[in-house]
Amino acid sequence: MAFGISIDLTGDKQLRTALAALPIKTLDKVVPQALTAVSKPIIAAARRNLTSHGLKGSGFLKKSIGKVIRKGGKYRARGNVLLVIGARSPGQGATPGSGKWVFVDAKGKKHVPANYAHLIELGHRIAKGGKLTRKTRSGVRVGVGTSGGRVQAFPFLRPALDSNRSRAVRDFGDRAWKGIKREAAKLAAKTGVPLPGGP
């Protein structure tokens, strides 16, 4: 479960020029490092928000909140690096099948916070008697259950993102410039080609 913040660099011509001047291999180091720095205050705020709601049994969800950075495949082809913040799924940030982000309580019951984080964030209807009755796109009615009320939403991720939006943009620019300068200095030492522009 994650909500998106899009960081638009169209207004920062110097940063765009500098990023474009670096090889993909170098960008693969600089951009994820900057995104990791951006994610830390958002993750901390989301965990604090869960604590402030006083939700019983939210410890597993708090532990699972983190970041995943995707930069290969279709993302690289489009020139994008994607930062996802939320409850991590089994296999994210772990070897698939390792069981990471699956928690077992004192009674031996397994919990996968990624499966229910959105229900806490957004609230949900309570189903009685099976899955709720609904119409599919084709018009077929499925489910035999009825709605037995609604569970209140306890937003923890959206407020964390909203309260850190401007800081995230600023921190990304600062961290990206530091990384660009560091990597450009290494490239210049090897090739003798200086980095265009800079703050």
Q: What is the secondary structure of 87-128 as a DSSP string?
A: EPPTTTTS-TTS-TT-EE-TTS-EE-GGGTHHHHHH-EEEEE
Considering the entire predicted model, what is its pTM?
A: 0.74
Residue 196 in domain: no
Cβ-based burial of 105 (10 A; exposed 0-12, middle 13-18, buried ≥19): exposed
Question: Around Cβ 32, how many Cβ atoms within 10 Å?
Answer: 17
Residue 72 in domain: yes
Q: According to the model, what pLDDT value does residue 158 have? A: 92
Residue 63 in domain: yes
Residue 117 in domain: yes
Q: Which two tokens stand for residue 41?
A: 């205050």
What's the chain's length in residues? 199
Residue 124 in domain: yes
Q: In this predicted model, what pLDDT tens digit does every residue of 9-58 receive, in sequence order?
A: 545 677 767 767 777 777 778 888 888 999 999 999 999 998 887 766 66
Residue 82's beta-bridge partner residues? 70
Domain count, the chain: 1
**Distance (Å, whole) CA 2 – CA 145:** 28
Question: Where in the sequence is the domain holding 154, given as residue range(s)?
Answer: 13-191
Residue 85 in domain: yes
Q: How confident is the model at residue 96 (pLDDT cuts 50, 70, 90)?
A: very low
Q: According to the model, what pLDDT value does residue 41 have? A: 94
**Distance (Å, whole) CA 32 – CA 172:** 10
Residue 5 in domain: no
Q: Which two tokens stand for residue 44?
A: 């901390």
**Distance (Å, whole) CA 145 – CA 130:** 4
Q: In this predicted model, what pLDDT tens digit does every residue of 113-153 receive, in sequence order?
A: 888 898 899 988 887 777 777 777 887 677 777 777 888 89
**Distance (Å, whole) CA 74 – CA 1:** 20
Q: In this predicted model, what pLDDT tens digit does every residue of 155-195 receive, in sequence order?
A: 999 999 999 988 888 888 888 888 888 887 887 777 776 65
**Distance (Å, whole) CA 55 – CA 180:** 42
Q: Which residues fall within 8 angstroms of residue 155, CB to CB, at 6 or more apart? A: 49, 121, 122
Distances (CA, A) of 31 to 47, 134, 171, 196, 197: 24, 44, 12, 18, 18
Q: How confident is the model at residue 79 (pLDDT cuts 50, 70, 90)?
A: low
Q: According to the model, what pLDDT value does residue 93 have? A: 54
Q: According to the model, what pLDDT value does residue 3 have? A: 47
**Distance (Å, whole) CA 144 – CA 165:** 43
Q: According to the model, what pLDDT value does residue 72 have? A: 67
Q: How confident is the model at residue 95 (pLDDT cuts 50, 70, 90)?
A: very low
